[in-house]
Amino acid sequence: LEGLHVDTCASGADLLSHPALHQVRCIVLDYRMPDMDGFAVMNGLAAKGVHTPVILITGPMTGYIREQASRLGASVVLEKPLLDGTLVDRIREFAT
């Protein structure tokens, strides 16, 4: 709907093994996922040498999440619910 090319992954492990992982312009992660949390995925990205901007979404925001996201290099941390177009606006900052 927004004119962006989007690939989705069913899990953090799927993302980390995605064939185009090194070509993406932006990664959107949820903090809570079934197989591994967003921080584990971010650690996996770092281990693979992927330095793509990461937008981490979470709800609710805690000091721990904000601190860890910053330490792990998240470009942006957004709190759910995302109702005002902020996510798309932030993606566009990295995707263009």
Which tens digit of pLDDT belongs to each residue from 27-83? 999 999 988 999 999 999 999 999 999 999 999 999 999 999 999 999 999 999 998
d(CA 44, CA 72): 11
d(CA 18, CA 90): 22
d(CA 18, CA 65): 25
d(CA 79, CA 62): 10
What's the whole-model pTM score?
Answer: 0.92
Looking at residue 34, what is its pLDDT? 84
Half-sphere exposure in the Cβ direction for 92 (13 Å, CA): 7
